[in-house]
Amino acid sequence: MYLAVAKVESQGKGGYRAIGVQTGSGNRAYGKCQIMDYNIPNWTEEVLWRVMTPQEFLDDQVAQDLVCQYKLMQLLATHTPQDTASIWFTGGTLYQNGHRQDANGMTGFAYAEKVFNHYISLVQ
């Protein structure tokens, strides 16, 4: 799942150095898997036992890989791959947030389909 999310999120957008567009609330997503800035301190503390700033996170490829892999595996433990992708993208399952759009107009449904197609090609 990690490789599928990374492929959709940062392909052609800078990889580990990618910074997402600013949302209406002023937040941005960072790195290869585009983790939202407000999640970085808590997630890095949970996974790495160290609080990181978005800039520190952006500068550390290993931290990005570990946090992304860990958080996606947590989601996959209790959700389908499609709902895992939707939660990663929208904060909710397809049923809850499938129609929700990001700043670029992509819906949760479209994102989940893209990630799932990459996921299936990787596990075959």
Question: What's residue 29's pLDDT?
Answer: 93
Question: What's residue 87's pLDDT?
Answer: 94
Segment-wise mean pLDDT, segments of 10 residues, the chain, 124 residues: 84 82 90 96 98 98 97 96 93 90 84 88 78
- Looking at 11-107, list the stretches that DSSP marks H as alpha helix, in order from N- to C-terminal side: 40-48, 54-58, 61-76, 81-90, 94-97
How many beta carbons lie within 10 A of that of residue 105, not counting itself? 7
Question: What's residue 48's pLDDT?
Answer: 98
Q: What is the pTM of this model?
A: 0.88
Q: Mind listing the domains of the chain with CATH numbers?
A: 2-123 (1.10.530)
Q: Which residues contact 70 (CB under 8 A, 6 or more apart)?
A: 46, 47
CA gap 47, 22 in Å, rounded: 26
